[in-house]
């Protein structure tokens, strides 16, 4: 499980199947953190759902939210494999960039403008966080940035907000 901040809410990435979440809607058995990851004080309470959109699914997907009654932190759960705010999967993005950097062109049948934007952002983020030497090793930079908790294709240059950790949590089924 990993998390990052978004608009005051903390995003928690969990191993979850997007299709199952879509099919089961609000009945999907999301895991619940044992304790609040922000203050560590107590158990978090259910705090409704937010509708999110992903490339792979035609329609909105309900993502679980929790709230800590102690520090009032809001937690938003999100399936692993997707960056916050970005609808394409990490795998799709990585695949496209790898194709473009390796073969000099984008994979056929893909949307060019969005991908050019990913590449531009990657070059900028690599330079900002890793230095200019990484310009010639952009795929390595992509993976390195993820390790640092930075979204490699994010438009906004932001400091590392993600902290990777594996707290104990159990599924509520
Ligand atoms: Zn808390």
Q: Is residue 141 part of a domain?
A: yes
Task: Please state, in angstroms and rounded to a whole number, the distance separating the CA atoms of residues 161 and 141.
Answer: 17
Of all helices (H) and strands (E), which one includes residue 22? helix 18-24
The residue ranking higher by pLDDT, 36 or 165, is 36
Q: Is residue 137 part of a domain?
A: yes
CA of 74 to the centre of ligand 1 (A): 8
CA of 100 to the centre of ligand 1 (A): 43
* Digit-coded pLDDT (tens) for 6-62: 456 788 888 888 999 999 999 999 999 888 888 888 889 999 999 999 988 888 999
Number of domain units in the chain: 2
Residue 150, pLDDT above cutoff 80:
yes
Residue 5, pLDDT above cutoff 70:
no
Q: Is residue 117 part of a domain?
A: yes
CA of 167 to the centre of ligand 1 (A): 14
CA of 8 to the centre of ligand 1 (A): 12
The domain of 128 spans 90-147
Structure confidence at residue 24 (pLDDT): 95
Q: Strand, coil or helix: what is 169?
A: strand
Domain match, 23 and 66 both: yes
Task: Please state, in angstroms and rounded to a whole number, the distance separating the CA atoms of residues 52 and 28.
Answer: 15
Domain match, 48 and 94 both: no
The reported pTM is: 0.69
């Amino acid at each position: 499980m990993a998390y990052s901040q978004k608009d005051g809410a903390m995003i928690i990435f969990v191993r979850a199947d997007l299709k199952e979440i879509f099919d089961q809607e609000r009945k999907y058995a999301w895991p619940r953190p044992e304790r609040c990851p922000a203050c560590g004080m107590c158990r978090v309470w259910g705090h409704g759902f937010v509708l999110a959109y992903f490339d792979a699914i035609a329609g909105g997907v309900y993502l679980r939210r929790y709230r800590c009654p102690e520090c009032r932190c809001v937690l938003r759960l999100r399936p692993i494999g997707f960056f916050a705010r970005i609808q394409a999967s990490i795998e799709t993005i990585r695949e496209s960039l790898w194709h473009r950097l390796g073969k000099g062109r984008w994979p056929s049948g893909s949307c060019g403008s969005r991908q050019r934007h990913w590449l531009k952002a990657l070059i900028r983020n690599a330079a900002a966080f890793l230095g200019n030497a990484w310009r010639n090793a952009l795929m390595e930079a992509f993976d390195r940035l993820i390790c640092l908790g930075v979204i490699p294709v994010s438009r906004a240059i932001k400091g590392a907000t993600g902290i990777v950790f594996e707290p104990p949590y159990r599924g509520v089924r």
